[in-house]
Structure 1
Amino acid sequence: MKRTNVAVWAVVALVVLYLAWAMIRPMLSALFFGAVVAYAFLPVHRRLSGKVGEFWSSILLASLLLISIVGVAIVAVMTLSDVLSSAYAYTTDVFEWLYSIGLPVSVETSIKNFQVQLLPLLQERLLSYTFSLPGYVIQSLVFLVFMQYLLVNSSEIRRYLRELIPTEERELAEDLVSGITKTLDALVRSWLLLNLFKGLVMTAGLIIFDVTDTGGAIVGGLLTVFFSFIPLFEGWMIWAIAAWVLVRDGFLLKGVLLAVYGFVLVSPLPDYTIRPRLVAKEARLDSTMVLLGMIGGAMAFGIKGIIAGPIIFNLLASLVREWKRLNRRRRSKG
């Protein structure tokens, strides 16, 4: 009888877990980004909580993000067609430029085969984004609700996680968590948020200096964010190309001013002035892990993997480093 009851409850539990996963799976991207943003805004939330309380602090931050999301949605509705057209046109221009530089026949043939496969896929993806605004609204709602929930319950969540750690291993676990937290701080605040800021600044610069239309400027900003995630490339590539285009077209002063603007506000100066202030001295980011994480994350999880992959890889590296450090410390004591 007892075995029968256990089997019944096991089946019920499996069914409930399956149904829960089926409901959560479509929201994974929104939940993931909600957790990342909640973590990024946690220091601000703690300062505000001392003045207005945890609940109203979380509501205020969620409201500010709601305004930002509505703004992004309005810009997307107004410029989506231009952005998608610019993205497709720039991709085509890159291939045409490659064909014009006199590559070996075998290399050119390989590039043409790649283009034949890429452009239809790009058209399909761009068309799907055109009809994704309703989904964007729903995902944004899930994102905001989950972010607000994590912020308002951040103290309880922290207490609960602390209670899960066995007392005899608490010192070890706290040291590991401390090292991982520093790495996560560096990844989210100095890597992710700073790169997004660079993209916004680059978009504004392309519009201010009249390099391209709004759609092209947004594409340039997105490319700045993308290249800022890749070691050696960084965001300077976009302002350098834009400045060269202006100089080539006879706008020497605009080109020089854009180069100064990009150097000071996009890359590389912010990497040496702003980024070190945001990263703890003990935190170390492996650029190879960032690149591999982007590639592997995108292959495994889609677009959210571009951000999730580097975080997972660097957290793994941080966990290994802290484990080795603690083992060395234990051996020295012994």
Structure 2
Amino acid sequence: MKLETAVWAVISLVILYLTWETVKPVISPIIIAVTLAYILYPLHERLSDKVGNRWSAFILTGVLTVISFLFILGFALWINDIKLSLAEYVDTFFSWLLGIHLPPATYDLTMRISQAITERFNAYVLGYTYSLPKLALQVVVMVFAFYGVLVNAIEIKNELYSLLPPANRELAQKLVESGARTLHYMLRGWLLVSIGKGIMMALAFYIYGISDAGGAIAAGILTVILELLPLVGGWMVWLGGAFYLYTVGRLGAALALTLYGATLISPMPDVFLVKKLGRRQWGVNALVSIVGIFGGYIAFGFVGVIIGPLSLSLLLTLVDEWKKEKSRGRTRR
């Protein structure tokens, strides 16, 4: 009996290993697909009432397919310009951050994060620059996964809840609720708003002639990143652009960009949106949010921006439950 159990354990481990090796190359596009499906599911529900579940998923998948392959085209045309401009913007941001007399421990941590982000970004871009077919294949996987998640969303949700362990069902439900709450604020809240601000920033940089198309896209990406972080925001990008316009003698354009940025990017929109979307800390403190975003990116790439804060949110939920259980144990005594 023990030999049979050992054999089945080995077979199970081999199957799990082969499955992981098969899924590992496409795990990022699957995560992105699930994320996009989560963001767009309310739209899918409204559209399903009019055209049906499958047709709604098909329409949204078609739109995603067109946008994705336009992205590949833009990636091939502008990736080098985006890479150089974004690296320059990030270096400027961290140079400013390191120059405000941070405590020694915070200074060292910030310096390491700066170096790690630059290295990771260069490796990430370089890996795709010479392998556009790989990028195209991942887009195909993402599109099919997106359609599958939308069509089977209710069945997937029911299946996940059925897998919750009966013995610790309350804790499992709290973890699910914590993750859902974090995803709601981060994805359907600030991420969507941040992407909109990034698009407006990219248009402003291009229209005002601050940079070419690649540099404008890089400014938009940096805006999205800064908007996701607590304590900072997209105002740093438009302020830098306005300062550049001022230094080259274009005072009117600098004032126009300042008005545009303050009213449409940051901080004016945040004043009106914070009550509806919640604060950007997503229920955790600012330091944990920063560590989650930067640490997640360094560890997992761009999908780490989602994985990092989510995993830390789940960890904090576990810690809170452990404290409550410990407190209840003392009370019983």
Pick closer, same or farther for the CA change 1:189–1:71 going to 2, 3 Å: same
Pick closer, same or farther for the CA change 1:149–1:322 going to 2, 3 Å: farther
State the secondary structure of the residue aligned to 2:269.
helix
Tell me if the contact between 2:198 and 2:223 (Cα under 8 Å) persists in the aligned partners: yes
Question: For residue 310 of structure 1, what is the aligned residue in structure 2?
Answer: 309
Pick closer, same or farther for the CA change 1:14–1:60 going to 2, 3 Å: same
One-letter identity of the residue aligned with 2:205:
L
Higher radius of gyration, 1 or 2 = 1
State the secondary structure of the residue aligned to 1:276.
helix
What pairs with 1:3-82 in structure 2 (closer than 5 Å)? 3-82=2-81
For normalisation by structure 2, the TM-score amounts to 0.79
State the secondary structure of the residue aligned to 2:211.
coil
Residue 200 of structure 2 corresponds to residue 201 of structure 1: yes
* Distance in 2 separating the partners of 1:150 and 1:165: 20
Q: CA deviation at 1:245?
A: 0.8
* Distance in 2 separating the partners of 1:29 and 1:223: 21
Which shifted more, 243-252 or 271-280? 271-280
Residue 268 of structure 2 corresponds to residue 266 of structure 1: no
Question: For residue 154 of structure 1, what is the aligned residue in structure 2?
Answer: 153
Identical residues among aligned pairs (%): 35
Pick closer, same or farther for the CA change 1:304–1:176 going to 2, 3 Å: closer
Q: CA RMSD in A?
A: 3.8
Question: For residue 191 of structure 1, what is the aligned residue in structure 2?
Answer: 190
One-letter identity of the residue aligned with 1:224:
T
* Distance in 2 separating the partners of 1:185 and 1:121: 27
Question: For residue 246 of structure 1, what is the aligned residue in structure 2?
Answer: 245
Pick closer, same or farther for the CA change 1:266–1:323 going to 2, 3 Å: farther
Q: CA deviation at 1:178?
A: 4.0
Pick closer, same or farther for the CA change 1:53–1:243 going to 2, 3 Å: same
* Distance in 1 separating the partners of 2:114 and 2:150: 46
Tell me if the contact between 2:204 and 2:257 (Cα under 8 Å) persists in the aligned partners: yes
Structure 1: which 5+ residue stretches go unaligned? 104-109, 330-334
Question: For residue 297 of structure 2, what is the aligned residue in structure 1?
Answer: 298
* Distance in 1 separating the partners of 2:160 and 2:213: 46
* Distance in 1 separating the partners of 2:319 and 2:71: 39
Q: CA deviation at 1:284?
A: 3.0
* Distance in 2 separating the partners of 1:49 and 1:177: 26
Question: For residue 255 of structure 1, what is the aligned residue in structure 2?
Answer: 254
Residue 288 of structure 2 corresponds to residue 289 of structure 1: yes
One-letter identity of the residue aligned with 2:294:
I
* Distance in 1 separating the partners of 2:300 and 2:119: 22
Which shifted more, 187-196 or 79-88? 79-88
Tell me if the contact between 1:180 and 1:318 (Cα under 8 Å) persists in the aligned partners: no
Q: CA deviation at 1:25?
A: 0.8
For normalisation by structure 1, the TM-score amounts to 0.79
* Distance in 2 separating the partners of 1:116 and 1:50: 49
Tell me if the contact between 1:286 and 1:314 (Cα under 8 Å) persists in the aligned partners: no
Tell me if the contact between 2:128 and 2:135 (Cα under 8 Å) persists in the aligned partners: no
Q: CA deviation at 1:306?
A: 2.8
Structure 2: which 5+ residue stretches go unaligned? 102-107, 329-333
Pick closer, same or farther for the CA change 1:205–1:29 going to 2, 3 Å: same
Tell me if the contact between 1:190 and 1:275 (Cα under 8 Å) persists in the aligned partners: no
